[in-house]
Amino acid sequence: MWRRPTAAALRGTGLKPSHYKEPIVEVWPESWPAVELYMRYQTQWLQGPGGPSGLNYAILFADLDRSGIEGEGREDIMDGIRTIEAEVLAEIYKE
């Protein structure tokens, strides 16, 4: 969830958005399936009265079904999704 600061946010600091380079993030090979699934459906958040409350798992499960991913492989991917989901929610609601 990295975002480059806007020019308006940097006004008066002497910095420009171009000074902020997107970080390079390494992903372990065993984590790629969960990252790829999340990236496909990163807009599919359920909304509560206070904002996003979690990912819509029905959409994720449908994708896994279409891909024929079952058993332990499916559980490994969903464990990764739950980790990503928790971190994104923590970032969204960070004060």
How many angstroms separate the CA atoms of 34 and 84, rounded?
8
Q: Which of 23, 8, 63 is nearest to 55 (CA)?
A: 63
User: Structure tokens of 47?
Assistant: 């909304």
Q: How far is the CA of 12 from the CAs of 5, 6, 15, 16, 61, in angstroms? A: 13, 12, 8, 10, 48
This prediction has a pTM of: 0.77
What pLDDT sits at residue 19? Answer: 93
- pLDDT, tens digit (0-9, with 9 covering 90-100), for 60-94: 999 999 999 999 999 999 999 999 999 999 999 99
- pLDDT, tens digit (0-9, with 9 covering 90-100), for 24-51: 889 999 999 999 999 999 999 999 999 9
1 pLDDT higher than 70:
no
